[in-house]
Chain A
Amino acid sequence: MSHSAPGLNYLNHSKGFKSWALTLDHKRIGIMYMVAVSLAFLAGGILAILVRLELLGPGETIMGPDAYNQSFTLHAVLMVFAFIIPAIPAVMGNFVLPIQLGAKDVAFPRLNLASLYIYLIGAVIAMMALVNGRIDGGWTFYAPYSTSIGNGILFVTAGVFVMGFSSILTGLNFIVTVHKMRAPGLTWNRLPLFIWSIYATSIVQVLATPVIGITVLLLFLEKAFSIGIFDPALGGDPVLFQHFFWFYSHPAVYIMILPAFGVISDLMGTFSRHQVSGYKFVALSSVAIAFLGFLVWGHHMFVSGQSAVSSVVFSLITYLIGIPTGVKVINWVQTMYKGSVQLKSPMLYAIMFLFTFSIGGFTGIILGVLAIDVHLHDTYFVVAHFHYVMMGGNVIAALGGLHYWWPKMFGKMYNETLAKIAAFLVFFGFNLTFFPQFIMGAQGMPRRYYDYLPQYEFYHALSTYGSWVLAAGLFLIMFYMIASLINGKKAGLNPWGALTLEWTHTTTPPDHHNFHDTPVVTRGAYDFHLAKHLFEHGGEVTELDLGGDGSAATPEEAPVPNEPVA
């Protein structure tokens, strides 16, 4: 940074629309992804609030059954394909991964930019379903219903197919970047755990996404030319569609949750001022989950008529996934236990994650039990379970990561007090929204129903009230994040005193080329027992290492990590 003109960084070294629209800089692409993905989250979120509002009381509240069916379907399509799948990898992965590797960019910057445009085109095609027919019946598009409801399905399948390409290109890019672009000395055992989980995610993206590609392509052809592969009226097999669909869509669950694990690991290490416990186990458990995730798709089909033997096998492998997941959770708790925890807003989300994700994970094991699943299948228990995993897992971790990397991305600090209030609102609102759904689901309330019996009214009302609190928290975040860009306090080089390369070796915001000299790595990503030495003297860490907690004006005021406990 000392070589280039002072004050120049990736945000301001060039100006104008074209300098963004045609940029090959992974950081700018990450920021543009962030805007796009946030808009998808906003649209999907507004639909969710409308769906919850409709369910406030029995009978019609604000919309008719047709609008309701289309609203929850569109909510799911937007949230799954346009928001959660790209959220952490394409935003934070793009921004952080090359810097954490000590690289100047990803291996294929052009493909990276292409993936953004492909994603946008796919999202627009999927949205065209709204004006070209209807799309209801849920995001799973089960045949033959999905091919019998008008032409909306043509646009949604085409959109999903196109967005899948974007996902594949991102994953492919990251795998090659991790393999080929690591800085000298950055061995696999020194990689930040965020990299490990993005790497595992990328493997799933590359191996699973082509299968949804061919599935939605066949569904498209089924609708367009009645090819009779899935439609039983033409001799096809609808269960085959379900197998194809879940062969992708279950691994896709790990595309959603694995990056969240990575963010949480980084947060746990940094804010506990401690080496992440069981580093190798945490790293390899991501790979184990990615692998096992391919072998459990049948647990979505216990009542779809697959053989009893398959169901037993799928059920057992489903339990197995609990092991690497448990390894992670226990190691995170252990990290906090051994460390000295700083309750900054990113860490609040990490701790929140432990609660919400664990509830989501355990209820997943419950749903993997064959007999119980027959009772709970397609009830609100399932809805609550996957929202605890996807929102309580992915979104909470994404919010944590956003608060963690925001100062690096924009060089501004947000208002920490408002951030803590918002974190509380999100936690309280989230649980109030989804916990009652476990109870009414266990009592038999089916998912996706427009109307319900009076006995469920209390839980539905609680859930709807919760959605308002949750929305208030999320809008508050949007408000103070935008406000920080306008009048936020200037962020230091390393406000959290973290030890990964994006904090120790780049300016804030980073230089256009990330580094002027490729860094040489001589330690692990969480060697906080070296921190006192690193923050005091040079070592490989240079004048950039000012340490601090964001509120400290000078390095002297910054908290010094504890000596390691032997």
Chain B
Amino acid sequence: MANPHTNQPAHVKHYFVSSEQQFDAAKMGMWLFLVTEILLFSGMFVAYTIYRSWHPETWMALSTALDWKLGGLNTLVLLASSFTVAMGINQIQRGNQKGLLLNLILTFVFAGVFLVVKYFEYSAKIEHGLLPGAAFDPHGISHGFDYATYNVPYGPQFFSIYFVMTGIHGFHVLVGMGLFAWITWKAKNGAFSAEYYTPVENCGLYWHLVDIIWIFLFPLLYLI
């Protein structure tokens, strides 16, 4: 498996001096990318903070419109998926390719569960007109509750921020599923070993960030 020109393992690209240099470079690149992700979300968190501080009564009234049970379930699902991806890295560091594969599949499934739950949440909001901006029009009665009571001033801003933040977060979950599908396929073909597991490590870092952002979104939107 060695590269005949450089006497390096086959996974080391020719422009790197060593496997360690390549791994360090990839990991540093991933951390920088995560910084850009945080800054992308920071704009939305700033918008959240400003509108919340201007209209706290709207936020208090409308956070009850979000289903904290489903949000809490999704929090648990994402935490579990963060655990499985960390376990996957742990397994491949010990050279256990089967353990890696199992954990990657579990992570993929958890990510899918998260999106399914999100789908039901979104459907309920859309059904009752709890929509962003100009489309905001709460209506309908469900379980004896009249949704028209959510028609408060600056309600559109709350649901704009809710849909934009959770929407962009959901998009990241979708991208994560794509990534896990890709590395699961590679893992199935035995591409990773205790010496080389850089993509697993980096996808794991990405996934932890997606998880952490949700950890902030959940209380800010659903609980307070």
| Interface residues, chain A, with chain B CB atoms under 8 Å away | 103-105, 107-109, 111, 168, 172-173, 175-177, 179-181, 206-211, 213-215, 217-218, 221-222, 225-229, 234-237, 240, 244, 513, 518
Cα–Cα, bound, A107→B41 (Å): 27
Assess whether B132 is interfacial by the CB under 8 Å rule: yes
What is the number of contacts between chain A and chain B, taking CB atoms within 8 Å? Answer: 112
Per the CB 8 Å criterion, the residue count for chain B at the interface is 38
User: When the two chains form the complex, which single residue of A105, A210, A218, A234 contacts B15, counting CB atoms closer than 8 Å?
Assistant: A105
User: Judging by beta carbons under 8 Å apart, are B43 and A215 in contact?
Assistant: yes
User: Judging by beta carbons under 8 Å apart, are A173 and B134 in contact?
Assistant: no
- Chain A residues within an 8 Å CB radius of B160: 221, 227-229
CB contacts under 8 Å to A, within B100-147, are 132-135
Residue of chain A at shortest CB distance from B167: A221
Assess whether B17 is interfacial by the CB under 8 Å rule: yes
Beta-carbon contacts of B146-159 to A below 8 Å, as 1s and 0s? 00000001101100
CB contacts under 8 Å to A, within B1-59, are 13-17, 21, 24-26, 28-29, 32-33, 35-37, 39-44, 46-47, 50
- Chain B residues within an 8 Å CB radius of A236: 157
> Counting chain B CB atoms within 10 Å of each CB, which of A180, A237, A513 scores highest?
A180
> Counting chain B CB atoms within 10 Å of each CB, which of A103, A215, A225, A227 scores highest?
A227
Q: With contacts A207-B39, A225-B132 known, is A173 near B29, CB below 8 A?
A: yes
Cα–Cα, bound, A410→B153 (Å): 65
User: Judging by beta carbons under 8 Å apart, are B134 and A226 in contact?
Assistant: yes
User: Judging by beta carbons under 8 Å apart, are A228 and B157 in contact?
Assistant: yes
User: Judging by beta carbons under 8 Å apart, are B28 and A176 in contact?
Assistant: yes
Please list 10 pairs of residues, one from A and one from B, whose beta carbons are closer than 8 Å in the complex, sorted by A's number: A109-B13, A175-B32, A176-B29, A180-B24, A207-B39, A218-B44, A218-B164, A227-B156, A228-B134, A513-B15
Residue of chain B at shortest CB distance from A207: B39
Residue of chain B at shortest CB distance from A212: B43
| Interface residues, chain B, with chain A CB atoms under 8 Å away | 13-17, 21, 24-26, 28-29, 32-33, 35-37, 39-44, 46-47, 50, 132-135, 153-154, 156-157, 160-161, 163-164, 168
Cα–Cα, bound, A27→B17 (Å): 20
Residue of chain B at shortest CB distance from A226: B134
Residue of chain B at shortest CB distance from A177: B25
Cα–Cα, bound, A229→B43 (Å): 12
- Chain B residues within an 8 Å CB radius of A518: 17
User: When the two chains form the complex, which single residue of B28, B134, B161 contacts A179, counting CB atoms closer than 8 Å?
Assistant: B28
User: Judging by beta carbons under 8 Å apart, are A234 and B156 in contact?
Assistant: yes
**Chain B binding surface SS class:** helix
User: Judging by beta carbons under 8 Å apart, are B25 and A211 in contact?
Assistant: no
User: When the two chains form the complex, which single residue of A111, A207, A208, A227 contacts B164, counting CB atoms closer than 8 Å?
Assistant: A227
User: When the two chains form the complex, which single residue of A176, A226, A513 contacts B25, counting CB atoms closer than 8 Å?
Assistant: A176
User: Judging by beta carbons under 8 Å apart, are B43 and A214 in contact?
Assistant: yes
User: When the two chains form the complex, which single residue of B15, B29, B41, B168 contacts A103, counting CB atoms closer than 8 Å?
Assistant: B15
User: Judging by beta carbons under 8 Å apart, are A207 and B132 in contact?
Assistant: no
User: Judging by beta carbons under 8 Å apart, are B132 and A228 in contact?
Assistant: yes
User: When the two chains form the complex, which single residue of A109, A180, A227, A244 contacts B133, counting CB atoms closer than 8 Å?
Assistant: A227
User: Judging by beta carbons under 8 Å apart, are A206 and B32 in contact?
Assistant: yes
User: Judging by beta carbons under 8 Å apart, are A228 and B133 in contact?
Assistant: yes
User: Judging by beta carbons under 8 Å apart, are B135 and A218 in contact?
Assistant: no
Distance in angstroms from A159 CB to nearest chain B CB is 17
Q: With contacts A103-B15, A227-B133 known, is A213 near B40, CB below 8 A?
A: yes
Cα–Cα, bound, A217→B156 (Å): 18
Q: With contacts A225-B133, A227-B132, A228-B157 known, is A211 near B32, CB below 8 A?
A: no
4 shortest A-B CB distances, which residue pairs?
A214-B43, A226-B134, A210-B39, A104-B15
Distance in angstroms from B205 CB to nearest chain A CB is 14
Distance in angstroms from B24 CB to nearest chain A CB is 6
Distance in angstroms from B173 CB to nearest chain A CB is 17
- Chain A residues within an 8 Å CB radius of B41: 214
User: Judging by beta carbons under 8 Å apart, are A234 and B28 in contact?
Assistant: no
User: Judging by beta carbons under 8 Å apart, are A234 and B50 in contact?
Assistant: no
Distance in angstroms from A98 CB to nearest chain B CB is 8
User: Judging by beta carbons under 8 Å apart, are A226 and B43 in contact?
Assistant: no
Cα–Cα, bound, A253→B14 (Å): 36
User: Judging by beta carbons under 8 Å apart, are B43 and A107 in contact?
Assistant: no
Residue of chain B at shortest CB distance from A110: B13
User: Judging by beta carbons under 8 Å apart, are A244 and B15 in contact?
Assistant: no
User: Judging by beta carbons under 8 Å apart, are B157 and A211 in contact?
Assistant: no
User: Judging by beta carbons under 8 Å apart, are B21 and A180 in contact?
Assistant: yes
Cα–Cα, bound, A300→B168 (Å): 29
Distance in angstroms from B216 CB to nearest chain A CB is 15
- Chain A residues within an 8 Å CB radius of B156: 227-228, 234-235
User: Judging by beta carbons under 8 Å apart, are B15 and A109 in contact?
Assistant: yes
Q: With contacts A104-B15, A235-B154, A240-B50 known, is A225 near B135, CB below 8 A?
A: yes
Distance in angstroms from B37 CB to nearest chain A CB is 7
Residue of chain A at shortest CB distance from B27: A176
